[in-house]
Amino acid sequence: MTKKLFLAAAMIAVMFAFAIPANAQFGKALKNATKSATKAVGDVAGDMASDMVANKVSVKIVEFMDNNNTVAQEDSEYYTRLAGLVADNYVTVDGLSINYKVYENPEANIIATSDGSIRIYSGMMDMLSDEELLAVVSTQIGHIANKDVRNNLLKVASEDNATKASSAQLEKLLSFSGDKMGTVINELLQVPYTDDQNKAADSYAYDLLKKNGTDTDALVSALTKFAELEAADQAATEDEEGEISTAAKYIGVSANNSLRASLISSK
């Protein structure tokens, strides 16, 4: 009997010994899960706050740009052409409200901001066919949807173009005007998209064009045009008498066009 009691006591002791670590381990896992959930909620809240402030700053940036550029009037050929192209499927995209204006400027450039504004230089329109223009517009919508333009603004607000600024740092830009705002815009227009950002935006554009029944070959064609200009600009920088293209600034932030064209062609 004593032997049986001893064995029973030993078994209970062993069970108790395993139970304590198990409970402790469960408690630790629960604590870690709570921390992870709290962090996730905090990240989402922080992301939403950054979106709201970035949109406010973007509205101010676009207002400054519109006031300091020659905007094509509604009865102009440029405005009429663009309005006709984007009217049906490119004003509201995946819940995003997109607004457009054309700057009468021979430079081949296009600018997007996180509030959904897209500004196209007349030089870019002159360079592209209607389908190619829609392809480039779709890529810019992709950069807005993927928050690339917002993240670039956060980089500028951080003052080192490397890390992302806090919402508080971003809010400081709301008080800027004149030369200060001009400096911010100039820096923003020079922050390059990463290869991954460009590839994702190209993929977004491809899907959007396909969804709307636009020939996706136009995206390849536009990228090929930029690839040729990119190569020519590279050669020009190595030649003292060389001249860079009117698309140099655009290519500066949207590079590796040859590879990008190849990737879209393979879809």
Residue 251 or residue 21, greater confidence: 251
Q: How confident is the model at residue 8, as a pLDDT? A: 46
Compute the distance between CA of residue 3 and CA of residue 5 in angstroms, rounded to an integer.
5
% of the chain exceeding 70 in pLDDT? 79
Residue 46 or residue 88, greater confidence: 88
Pairing of strands 99-103, 117-121: parallel
- The C-alpha angle 133, 136, 137, rounded to 5 degrees, equals 85
Looking at residue 201, its amino acid is: A
Section 105-110 average pLDDT = 98
Tokens of 259: 């590879």
Q: What is the DSSP string of 160-180?
A: SSSSPPPHHHHHGGGG--HHH
Q: How far is CA 85 from CA 80, 118, 130, 147, 165, in A?
A: 9, 14, 7, 24, 36
Q: What digits encode the pLDDT tens for the residues 162-200? A: 556 667 778 888 889 999 999 999 999 999 999 999 999
Looking at residue 66, its amino acid is: D
Q: How confident is the model at residue 188, as a pLDDT? A: 92
In terms of residues, how long is the chain?
267
Q: How many other CB atoms are found less than 10 A from the CB of residue 45? A: 10
Pairing of strands 110-112, 117-121: antiparallel
Looking at residue 159, its amino acid is: E
CB distance 217 to 153 below 8 Å: no
**Per-residue pLDDT at 20 exceeds 70:** no
Compute the distance between CA of residue 57 and CA of residue 140 in angstroms, rounded to an integer.
18
**Per-residue pLDDT at 4 exceeds 90:** no
**Per-residue pLDDT at 207 exceeds 80:** yes
Q: What digits encode the pLDDT tens for the residues 117-160? A: 999 999 999 999 999 999 999 999 999 999 999 999 998 888 65
**Per-residue pLDDT at 101 exceeds 60:** yes
Q: What residue ranges do the domains of the chain occupy?
A: 43-265
Compute the distance between CA of residue 214 and CA of residue 206 in angstroms, rounded to an integer.
9
Helices (H), the chain: 2-67, 77-86, 122-127, 130-145, 148-157, 167-171, 178-188, 195-211, 217-237, 248-253, 257-265
